[in-house]
Amino acid sequence: MQEFIAQVINGLSLGSIYVLLVTGFNLLLLVAMIIHFAYPQVVVFSMYVTWLVLQMTGNNLPLGIAAGIASSVIINLLSAPLFQKVMSNRRDVDINSSMVLSMGIGMIITDILSHSFNEGLPVAFPDSLSSIVPLVRFGLISVQVGQVWSLGIGIIAVSAIFLILYRTRPGRAFRAIAEDPSGARLVGIPILRTGLYSYGLSGILGGLIAVLLAMLLGSASPGLGEQVAHKVLAVSIIAGLGNLVGGLVVGLLLGILEAIVQGYISGSWSNAIAFVVMLVVILARPKGLFGSKL
């Protein structure tokens, strides 16, 4: 039982990161109307930037974290015109071409990471950031500092996003565009500027996720982005594309499922089982469990 509780705690902290990733992904999907498949690759790139700045500054944490967040925002804002151009080429909302474009961006990021940083080898974050020190220990149950941070910041960040969406003027603009882009344009909502806000906001979120992932995993590798990208899209589809609440539930459930499977099944099979479960759900309900918001 203790092992089970320990795995649920692990799962909650991992799940909170999935929730953040899916929230950023859905934000771009709903407001900018793009499937940013490479969003997790941007996050992993930010992890590498954080690592690089920490190396260069002798583990200056505030600077490393700021650099990670800044890099994520910059990449998101730089890619915005590309996505906008692709969308305007098709003269209509075509999220499929944005997905292919995003995969191209993902290919570039992954290959740059596997050539330019640390000779393509995985990077390890310093103990001051990775926070794998146990905070509480009770039998087999051990809660690490990184887990508490990721869960705490995850809850705060998701609450902040929901607060922005439901209690602020830009948030109302976000939701209006998500509901009906043509209607939003008619009532004078600046579509382009609001879309750019969503790139910026998801960039900030991406930077935060990068720092949390660094704290939780303690390392990063070029292939991490692809695997996470895959899970984020799967969570998003299982929840129903663009469904923020669904993403929250499914993200947490995936984290817990993965952690429990890892606790009881050894080796690489554990990850495969999580993927089999995802595959079964997607095959059974290709349009999602909670209904798509598109």
Partner 1 sequence: MPLELYYFLSITAVNILLSWAMYLPYRVAHLHFITVANMAISGYSAGWLVMTLHVPFGWALLVGFALGGGIGYLVSLFIGDAPTFAVVIVGFTFIFITRTVIENLNAVGGTMGMFGLPDIGGNPDAHRWIIMAILAGLLLLVGFLLHRFDHSRLGRAASAVFVDKDLAASLGVDIRRLGMLLQTVSCTIAGGTGVLYGFIYRSLHVDFFTFELVGIAMTIVFVGGYATPWGTVVLAPILYGVPLLLPPAVQEWRIVLYGAALVLVLVLKPEGFITRRFVVSLESFLSVSRKKRNSFTREET
Q: Which one of 8, 61, 95, 289 is in contact with partner 1 (CB under 8 A)? A: 95
- Name the one range near partner 1 by CB under 8 A: 6-14, 52-60, 101-109, 147-155: 101-109
Taking residues 233 to 272 in sequence order and writing x for each that binds partner 1 by CB under 8 A, - otherwise, the string is xx--x---x-------------------------xxx-xx
- Name the one range near partner 1 by CB under 8 A: 85-93, 139-147, 172-180, 253-261: 85-93
Provide the minimum distance between the beta carbon of 200 and partner 1 in the complex, in angstroms, as a whole number.
Answer: 21
Query: Nearer Cβ to partner 1, position 83 or 174?
Result: 83
Instruction: Work out whether 107 is an interface residue with partner 1 (CB under 8 A).
Output: yes
Provide the minimum distance between the beta carbon of 85 and partner 1 in the complex, in angstroms, as a whole number.
Answer: 5
Spatial CB neighbours of 18, under 8 Å, sequence gap ≥ 6: 231, 232, 235, 251, 252, 254, 255
- The dihedral built from the CA positions of residue 179, 181, 185 and 186, taken in this order, carries a sign that is negative
Q: Which one of 74, 132, 282, 289 is in contact with partner 1 (CB under 8 A)? A: 282
Query: Nearer Cβ to partner 1, position 12 or 250?
Result: 250
Q: Which one of 61, 74, 103, 289 is in contact with partner 1 (CB under 8 A)? A: 103
219 and 229 Cβ atoms separated by less than 8 Å = no
Spatial CB neighbours of 194, under 8 Å, sequence gap ≥ 6: 31, 170, 173, 174, 177
Q: How far apart are CA 253 and CA 216, in angstroms?
A: 18
Instruction: Work out whether 286 is an interface residue with partner 1 (CB under 8 A).
Output: yes
Query: Nearer Cβ to partner 1, position 59 or 227?
Result: 227
Q: How far apart are CA 275 and CA 261, in angstroms?
A: 11
8 and 259 Cβ atoms separated by less than 8 Å = yes
Q: Which one of 96, 167, 169, 186 is in contact with partner 1 (CB under 8 A)? A: 96
Site for partner 1 in 215-234 (CB under 8 A): 226-227, 230, 233-234
Tokens standing for residue 255 = 């984290």
Residues in the chain: 294
Interface size with partner 1, residues (CB under 8 A): 44
Site for partner 1 in 111-130 (CB under 8 A): 111-112, 115
Provide the minimum distance between the beta carbon of 237 and partner 1 in the complex, in angstroms, as a whole number.
Answer: 6
Q: How far apart are CA 178 and CA 294, in angstroms?
A: 8
If DSSP codes are grouped into helix, strand and coil, which group holds residue 134? strand
The DSSP call for residue 120 is G
DSSP strand pairing (134-138 vs 219-220): unpaired
Taking residues 63 to 82 in sequence order and writing x for each that binds partner 1 by CB under 8 A, - otherwise, the string is -------------------x
Which residue blocks in 90-223 are alpha helix, DSSP H? Answer: 95-116, 127-130, 145-167, 169-179, 181-186, 191-217
Provide the minimum distance between the beta carbon of 261 and partner 1 in the complex, in angstroms, as a whole number.
Answer: 12
Name the residue with tokens 């690592």: 51
Binding site residues, partner 1, CB under 8 A: 35, 37, 82, 85-86, 89-90, 95-97, 99-101, 103-108, 110-112, 115, 226-227, 230, 233-234, 237, 241, 267-269, 271-272, 275-276, 278-279, 282-284, 286-287
